[in-house]
Amino acid sequence: MPELPEAEYMVRRLEEYAAGAEIIRSRLGRHALGRVRRYHRRAKNVLIELETGWTVRVQLGMTGHIYWIPNAKKPPRFTRAAFALKGGGALVFEDARRFGGVSAVLTAKLPEVLRGYGPEPLDRSFRWQHLKAAGARLAQPVKAFLLDQKRIAGLGNIWAAEALFGARIDPARAARSLDDAEWRALHTSIRRTLRRAIANTFKVTSRPEEFPEADLQWLAVYGREGKPCRRCRHPIEKSMLAGRATFFCPHCQH
């Protein structure tokens, strides 16, 4: 399931292969036509900003992947939206399970459309105090807090688990039980975890259509139930928390 690192990967690949591309045909109609001004990301959304004053918003859902192909006449099997480009290529949105979506939004109204998302964890302006302010009064488990897109944008089940491991925090603990040192450690771990995930994504891909699943990357706890902790060798455990599978080391995380 795409999370912030995968969405960021898609944006950077689009910039690499289709910077300044001109969309000449789209099922979304005239609003999705024109030259691309830039590609960027908000939370788990890939945004294609056009010079015409419109932005194509791609919500990735569970299996979404948007990328450039050299031949618009040969779209991949699970293409749900395609944007033909001047020169013969295309931007295609693949989504096998159909939980994602594509829409055209006036760029000026984009902040309003996306206002429900919390702060971006990789922004320079994001400080540990912001993270604490969002969660310090919450009785819910800290893992559930991290998954709430209104509190912090872009984290999903995989990278929340990895960030908590890096900070040595038990995912079942109430968010309000963390002290300042733990909030600082969690803030640092979130940013380090996401940056590493983005870098690893590029290490295991070479073409724009390649989309690595997170289990192909180096993970500390997620999906490693029963395997030795990479830090202390104690077996990793799995539990269900807020309806999601949660992986952690009971020896390292407190």
Please provide the DSSP assignment of the chain as one string.
---HHHHHHHHHHHHHHHTT-EEEEETT-GGG-EEEEEEEEETTEEEEEETTSEEEEEE-TTT-EEEEES-TTS--TTEEEEEEETTS-EEEEE-TT---EEEEEEGGGHHHHTTTS---TTSTT--HHHHHHHHTT--SBHHHHHH-TTTSSS--HHHHHHHHHHHT--TTSBGGG--HHHHHHHHHHHHHHHHHHHHHHHHT--STT----GGGS--SSTT-TTSBPTTT-PBPEEEEETTEEEEE-TTT--
Tell me if 35 is assigned to some domain.
yes
Both 107 and 145 in one domain: the answer is no
Active-site residue list:
2-3, 44, 244
Residue 94 has pLDDT above 80, yes or no: yes
In which domain, by residue range, is 24 found? 4-113
Q: Is residue 49 part of a domain?
A: yes
| pLDDT over 80 at 95, yes or no | yes
* Residue 197, in any domain of the structure: yes
Average pLDDT over residues 136-152: 97
CA 76 from chain centre, in angstroms, equals 22
Domain count, the chain: 2
Tokens 């990479």 locate to 230
Is position 157 within any domain? Answer: yes
Q: Which of 12-21, 37-46, 216-225 has the lowest mean pLDDT?
A: 216-225
Same domain, 13 and 53: yes
Q: Does residue 228 form part of some domain?
A: yes
> pTM (2 decimals)?
0.93
Q: Say what the pLDDT of residue 97 is.
A: 84
Cβ proximity of 177 and 169 under 8 Å: no
Note whether residue 121 is domain-resident: no
Q: 54-81, pLDDT tens digit by residue? A: 999 999 998 999 999 999 999 999 999 9
% the chain with pLDDT above 90: 87
The CATH code of the domain that includes 168 is 1.10.8.50
**pLDDT (tens digit, 9 = 90+) per residue, 173-184?**
999 999 999 999
CATH of the domain at 45: 3.20.190.10
Q: pLDDT tens, 227-244?
A: 999 999 999 999 999 889
Query: Which residues does 227 contact at the CB level (< 8 Å), separation at least 6?
Result: 235, 236
Residue where one domain finishes, among candidates 85, 113, 141: 113
149 and 238 belong to one structural domain: yes
Please tell me whether residues 33 and 96 are part of one structural domain: yes
Is residue 119 a part of any domain in this protein? no
The Cα–Cα gap between 14 and 157 comes to 25
Which pLDDT does position 227 carry in this prediction?
Answer: 97
Give the pLDDT confidence of 18-46 residue by residue, as tens digits: 999 999 999 898 999 999 999 999 999 99
